[in-house]
Amino acid sequence: MRSSIKVLTIEDDPNIVELIDLYMVKIGFQSISAYDGESGLEMFFNEQPDCIILDLMLPKMDGWEVCKTIRLEDKTIPILMLTGKGESYDIVKGLEIGSDDYIVKPFDPNELCARVKAALRRTILSEEYKAELTFSNITVNMQEFKIFVEGQEVKMPPKEIELLHCFASNPNQVLSRQQLLDRVWGYEFDGDPRTIDVHIKRVRDKLASYSSLWSIITIRGIGYRFEEKENA
Protein backbone atom coordinates (compact mmCIF):
# COMPACT_ATOMS: atom_id res chain seq x y z
CA MET A 1 0.00 0.00 0.00
CA ARG A 2 1.18 3.49 -0.78
CA SER A 3 2.69 5.21 2.22
CA SER A 4 1.65 8.62 0.89
CA ILE A 5 -1.02 9.13 -1.74
CA LYS A 6 -0.13 11.95 -4.09
CA VAL A 7 -2.85 14.16 -5.57
CA LEU A 8 -2.08 16.44 -8.52
CA THR A 9 -4.29 19.52 -8.95
CA ILE A 10 -4.21 21.22 -12.37
CA GLU A 11 -6.02 24.53 -11.90
CA ASP A 12 -5.17 28.11 -12.91
CA ASP A 13 -6.89 29.84 -9.97
CA PRO A 14 -4.32 30.07 -7.14
CA ASN A 15 -7.05 30.52 -4.51
CA ILE A 16 -8.68 27.24 -5.52
CA VAL A 17 -5.30 25.50 -5.63
CA GLU A 18 -4.52 26.73 -2.13
CA LEU A 19 -7.89 25.52 -0.84
CA ILE A 20 -7.50 22.07 -2.40
CA ASP A 21 -3.94 21.77 -1.13
CA LEU A 22 -5.08 22.62 2.40
CA TYR A 23 -7.78 19.96 2.41
CA MET A 24 -5.71 17.24 0.71
CA VAL A 25 -2.98 17.65 3.33
CA LYS A 26 -5.64 17.71 6.05
CA ILE A 27 -6.80 14.21 5.08
CA GLY A 28 -3.24 12.88 4.92
CA PHE A 29 -2.45 13.11 1.21
CA GLN A 30 0.52 14.70 -0.49
CA SER A 31 -0.61 17.61 -2.67
CA ILE A 32 1.16 18.95 -5.77
CA SER A 33 -0.16 21.45 -8.29
CA ALA A 34 0.24 23.01 -11.73
CA TYR A 35 -1.38 26.17 -13.10
CA ASP A 36 -1.71 25.32 -16.81
CA GLY A 37 -2.32 22.26 -18.94
CA GLU A 38 1.20 21.83 -20.25
CA SER A 39 2.77 22.06 -16.79
CA GLY A 40 0.11 19.68 -15.49
CA LEU A 41 1.04 17.05 -18.06
CA GLU A 42 4.71 17.48 -17.26
CA MET A 43 3.99 16.91 -13.56
CA PHE A 44 1.85 13.88 -14.39
CA PHE A 45 4.77 12.24 -16.19
CA ASN A 46 7.44 13.31 -13.70
CA GLU A 47 5.65 12.98 -10.35
CA GLN A 48 3.48 9.88 -10.97
CA PRO A 49 0.48 11.03 -8.92
CA ASP A 50 -2.22 8.67 -7.68
CA CYS A 51 -5.15 10.97 -8.46
CA ILE A 52 -5.72 14.11 -10.56
CA ILE A 53 -8.07 17.03 -9.96
CA LEU A 54 -8.38 18.71 -13.34
CA ASP A 55 -9.94 22.05 -14.26
CA LEU A 56 -11.52 22.31 -17.71
CA MET A 57 -10.66 25.91 -18.54
CA LEU A 58 -6.85 26.03 -18.49
CA PRO A 59 -4.25 28.15 -20.29
CA LYS A 60 -1.89 26.60 -22.89
CA MET A 61 -3.85 23.32 -23.03
CA ASP A 62 -7.43 22.85 -21.88
CA GLY A 63 -8.67 20.14 -19.56
CA TRP A 64 -10.17 18.09 -22.38
CA GLU A 65 -6.79 17.68 -24.09
CA VAL A 66 -5.00 17.06 -20.81
CA CYS A 67 -7.46 14.31 -19.89
CA LYS A 68 -7.23 12.63 -23.31
CA THR A 69 -3.43 12.70 -23.24
CA ILE A 70 -3.30 11.23 -19.74
CA ARG A 71 -5.71 8.48 -20.71
CA LEU A 72 -3.43 7.42 -23.57
CA GLU A 73 -0.74 6.74 -20.96
CA ASP A 74 -2.76 5.59 -17.95
CA LYS A 75 -6.18 4.00 -18.17
CA THR A 76 -6.82 3.69 -14.43
CA ILE A 77 -5.62 6.81 -12.58
CA PRO A 78 -8.65 8.62 -11.12
CA ILE A 79 -9.36 11.97 -12.80
CA LEU A 80 -11.88 14.36 -11.22
CA MET A 81 -12.87 17.28 -13.40
CA LEU A 82 -13.67 20.74 -12.08
CA THR A 83 -16.11 22.78 -14.13
CA GLY A 84 -17.40 26.27 -13.54
CA LYS A 85 -20.27 25.83 -15.93
CA GLY A 86 -22.18 22.89 -14.56
CA GLU A 87 -23.68 22.21 -17.98
CA SER A 88 -24.66 18.66 -18.83
CA TYR A 89 -22.63 18.83 -22.06
CA ASP A 90 -19.39 19.44 -20.15
CA ILE A 91 -20.14 16.65 -17.72
CA VAL A 92 -21.01 14.11 -20.41
CA LYS A 93 -18.01 15.05 -22.55
CA GLY A 94 -15.70 14.77 -19.57
CA LEU A 95 -16.98 11.32 -18.68
CA GLU A 96 -16.75 10.20 -22.31
CA ILE A 97 -13.08 11.15 -22.68
CA GLY A 98 -12.08 9.41 -19.49
CA SER A 99 -12.76 11.42 -16.34
CA ASP A 100 -14.05 9.40 -13.38
CA ASP A 101 -16.09 12.09 -11.69
CA TYR A 102 -16.83 15.80 -11.80
CA ILE A 103 -17.56 18.58 -9.37
CA VAL A 104 -19.05 21.99 -10.15
CA LYS A 105 -17.56 25.25 -8.91
CA PRO A 106 -18.07 26.70 -6.40
CA PHE A 107 -17.74 23.47 -4.45
CA ASP A 108 -17.66 22.30 -0.87
CA PRO A 109 -14.04 21.19 -0.21
CA ASN A 110 -15.30 18.42 2.07
CA GLU A 111 -17.36 17.06 -0.82
CA LEU A 112 -14.29 17.19 -3.05
CA CYS A 113 -12.33 15.23 -0.45
CA ALA A 114 -15.08 12.62 -0.32
CA ARG A 115 -15.07 12.32 -4.12
CA VAL A 116 -11.28 11.91 -4.21
CA LYS A 117 -11.41 9.28 -1.48
CA ALA A 118 -14.17 7.36 -3.24
CA ALA A 119 -12.23 7.38 -6.52
CA LEU A 120 -9.10 6.11 -4.80
CA ARG A 121 -11.08 3.46 -2.98
CA ARG A 122 -12.20 2.10 -6.36
CA THR A 123 -8.66 2.00 -7.76
CA ILE A 124 -5.27 1.79 -6.06
CA LEU A 125 -6.42 1.19 -2.51
CA SER A 126 -8.61 -1.76 -3.46
CA GLU A 127 -6.21 -3.19 -6.05
CA GLU A 128 -3.33 -3.40 -3.61
CA TYR A 129 -5.35 -5.64 -1.31
CA LYS A 130 -5.47 -8.38 -3.97
CA ALA A 131 -1.84 -9.38 -3.68
CA GLU A 132 -0.17 -11.85 -1.37
CA LEU A 133 2.39 -10.12 0.80
CA THR A 134 5.28 -11.62 2.74
CA PHE A 135 7.30 -9.75 5.34
CA SER A 136 9.70 -11.41 7.72
CA ASN A 137 7.93 -14.56 8.94
CA ILE A 138 4.41 -13.34 8.00
CA THR A 139 2.45 -14.06 4.84
CA VAL A 140 -0.82 -12.21 4.28
CA ASN A 141 -3.13 -13.51 1.57
CA MET A 142 -5.82 -10.92 0.90
CA GLN A 143 -7.58 -13.02 -1.70
CA GLU A 144 -8.38 -15.73 0.81
CA PHE A 145 -8.17 -13.48 3.90
CA LYS A 146 -5.68 -15.73 5.63
CA ILE A 147 -2.60 -15.07 7.77
CA PHE A 148 0.32 -17.49 7.92
CA VAL A 149 3.15 -17.04 10.41
CA GLU A 150 6.09 -19.44 10.17
CA GLY A 151 3.90 -21.60 7.94
CA GLN A 152 1.05 -21.85 10.41
CA GLU A 153 -2.32 -20.23 9.80
CA VAL A 154 -3.39 -17.81 12.52
CA LYS A 155 -7.12 -17.23 12.68
CA MET A 156 -8.13 -13.58 12.61
CA PRO A 157 -11.26 -11.67 11.63
CA PRO A 158 -11.06 -9.70 8.35
CA LYS A 159 -10.39 -6.27 9.88
CA GLU A 160 -7.40 -7.55 11.84
CA ILE A 161 -6.03 -9.19 8.70
CA GLU A 162 -6.44 -5.95 6.75
CA LEU A 163 -4.75 -4.03 9.54
CA LEU A 164 -1.75 -6.36 9.57
CA HIS A 165 -1.56 -6.20 5.77
CA CYS A 166 -1.51 -2.41 5.98
CA PHE A 167 1.35 -2.48 8.47
CA ALA A 168 3.37 -5.08 6.58
CA SER A 169 2.91 -3.08 3.38
CA ASN A 170 4.52 -0.06 5.06
CA PRO A 171 7.38 -1.42 7.19
CA ASN A 172 9.33 1.07 9.30
CA GLN A 173 6.90 3.90 8.50
CA VAL A 174 4.82 5.75 11.04
CA LEU A 175 1.09 5.50 10.29
CA SER A 176 -1.32 7.77 12.10
CA ARG A 177 -4.58 6.47 13.50
CA GLN A 178 -6.44 8.44 10.86
CA GLN A 179 -4.39 6.90 8.05
CA LEU A 180 -5.10 3.42 9.40
CA LEU A 181 -8.81 4.19 9.70
CA ASP A 182 -8.92 5.51 6.13
CA ARG A 183 -7.06 2.56 4.66
CA VAL A 184 -8.63 -0.27 6.63
CA TRP A 185 -12.10 0.91 7.67
CA GLY A 186 -12.70 3.19 4.72
CA TYR A 187 -12.80 6.92 4.20
CA GLU A 188 -16.43 7.20 5.26
CA PHE A 189 -15.77 5.76 8.73
CA ASP A 190 -16.93 8.20 11.40
CA GLY A 191 -16.72 6.02 14.50
CA ASP A 192 -14.36 6.15 17.46
CA PRO A 193 -10.67 6.35 16.37
CA ARG A 194 -9.78 4.32 19.46
CA THR A 195 -11.06 1.25 17.63
CA ILE A 196 -7.56 1.20 16.09
CA ASP A 197 -5.99 0.72 19.52
CA VAL A 198 -8.35 -2.14 20.37
CA HIS A 199 -7.65 -3.99 17.11
CA ILE A 200 -3.89 -3.53 17.39
CA LYS A 201 -3.95 -4.97 20.90
CA ARG A 202 -5.80 -8.01 19.57
CA VAL A 203 -3.29 -8.46 16.74
CA ARG A 204 -0.38 -8.17 19.17
CA ASP A 205 -1.95 -10.70 21.54
CA LYS A 206 -2.66 -13.25 18.80
CA LEU A 207 0.82 -12.98 17.30
CA ALA A 208 2.84 -12.54 20.49
CA SER A 209 4.47 -15.95 20.21
CA TYR A 210 5.51 -15.30 16.61
CA SER A 211 6.80 -11.74 16.88
CA SER A 212 10.47 -12.39 17.60
CA LEU A 213 11.46 -10.72 14.31
CA TRP A 214 9.19 -7.68 14.30
CA SER A 215 6.97 -5.53 16.47
CA ILE A 216 4.22 -2.92 16.24
CA ILE A 217 5.63 0.12 18.02
CA THR A 218 3.36 2.75 19.57
CA ILE A 219 4.37 6.28 18.62
CA ARG A 220 2.75 8.26 21.41
CA GLY A 221 0.39 10.97 20.25
CA ILE A 222 0.77 9.99 16.58
CA GLY A 223 0.11 6.35 15.74
CA TYR A 224 2.09 3.17 15.15
CA ARG A 225 5.11 1.79 13.30
CA PHE A 226 5.65 -1.78 12.13
CA GLU A 227 9.37 -2.59 12.24
CA GLU A 228 11.92 -5.34 12.38
CA LYS A 229 13.57 -5.79 15.74
CA GLU A 230 17.18 -4.72 16.01
CA ASN A 231 18.32 -8.06 17.37
CA ALA A 232 16.44 -10.03 14.74
Q: What is the pLDDT of residues 55-94, one digit of tens each?
A: 988 999 998 899 989 988 887 788 998 887 656 666 667 7
Identify the CA nearest to 39 among candidates 19, 13, 11.
Answer: 11
pLDDT tens-digit profile of 39-53?
999 999 999 999 999
Nearest to 44 by CA among 66, 60, 63, 24: 66
Distance, in Å, from the CA atom of 156 to the CA atom of 76, rounded to the nearest integer, reads: 32
With H, G, I as helix, E, B as strand and everything else as coil, classify residue 184. helix
Asked if pLDDT for residue 37 goes beyond 90, the answer is yes
CATH topology match: 6-126 vs 131-228: no
What amino acid is encoded at 131 in this protein? A
Could you tell me which of 218, 184, 189 has the C-alpha nearest to residue 201? Answer: 218
Average pLDDT over residues 213-220: 88
d(CA 200, CA 180): 11
Q: Quick check: helix, strand or coil at residue 71?
A: helix
The DSSP symbol for 83 reads: E
| Domain spans of the chain, in order of start | 6-126, 131-228
For range 147-157, the mean pLDDT: 87
Fold of 131-228: Arc Repressor Mutant, subunit A (1.10.10)
User: With bands split at pLDDT 50, 70 and 90, how would you rate the model's confidence at 190?
Assistant: low
If one counts every other C-beta atom within 10 angstroms of the C-beta of residue 188, the result is 10
Predicted confidence (pLDDT) at residue 129 exceeds the cutoff of 80: no
CA distance 147 to 81: 40
Cα 145 from Cα 160, distance rounded (Å): 10
Instruction: Cis check for the bond before 106: say yes or no (omega within 30 of 0).
Output: yes
What's the pLDDT at 3?
46
What average pLDDT is seen over the chain?
83
Mean pLDDT along residues 142-155: 84
Question: Under CATH, what is the fold of the domain 6-126?
Answer: Rossmann fold (3.40.50)
Residue 43: predicted pLDDT: 95
Name the nearest CA neighbour of 174 among 135, 133, 219: 219
